[in-house]
Structure formats: structure tokens, C-alpha cells
Amino acid sequence: MAGLFLTGFQAVGTDQPSAPTIPSVPQWDGSSAGLQNVLNQITQALNQLTGNRPQPPVPSGPGSNQNQQQKQNQLGRFTEVGRNTQKVTVKDPESGATLTYVQITSLTMKDTVTQELWTWSL
């Protein structure tokens, strides 16, 4: 008989799925092209892990009546249902320079496959 192993009996299959395989991320070489390569690999790995698949490009320009919201909804498996924002101003005490930006404080997304909703809050 096979001996007891950490995930079940040794040499006997379990009903657990195997770990996902994702592409390796190359080390950044300091160049802008290298940075773009690293970001592309990270994006590819993230899309693979979340189930997002790239969609074919949507025609744009004259004769195309696709609006921006429709294009966003076709990009992946999750669609944005709602968000809350607030304006934040940061001031540099030395120079007095200020920066104002819009910060997302909560975000609600819907999985188009399972219809589940998830909410993130700051």
C-alpha cells in the first residue's frame, strides 16, 4: 500500500486541481523597452489568472458608432457597476506646490460569467 503523503496517499491522484501555470516575468534591464516587456508579461499573467481574455480590436473612427462605455465592457470578464470618488489635494510644505487628484474610495464590479458582485473600499 502507498504511504501517507502531505496531499493524500503517495502515487494516488487527488481531486485537487493543479496549480495554474503562468508565464515568467523577465528581469527589467533598465531600458524603456525592457520596462514595457516586463509590464506586458505581468499583464498577460494577471489576465490568465483572472480569466480575462483579450478581445479583438473594436473598429473606431468614422463610421463606427461604438461609444467608450461599450468598448470598456468588451475588454474582459468583469464590468464596473459603480464607484465613489473624492478629490484629494496634496501640498508640498517646502515649495508650496499643490497637486489635486480624484481618488477612488470604493469600486463595485460584476463578474459577467457568474453574476457575482464584489466591492472594494479604501
Q: Give the tens place of pLDDT for each residue, 13-46.
A: 566 667 667 767 778 888 888 888 888 888 888 8
In the prediction, which pLDDT does 60 show?
58
Residues 84, 120, single domain; the answer is: yes
In a domain? residue 101: yes
In a domain? residue 2: no
In a domain? residue 115: yes
In a domain? residue 103: yes
In the prediction, which pLDDT does 17 show?
67
Based on the structure, what is the number of domains in the chain?
Answer: 2
Phi, psi values for residue 97, rounded to 5°: -70, 145
Asked if 98 contacts 91 with a C-beta cutoff of 8 angstroms, the reply is yes
Range of the domain at 42: 27-54+70-76
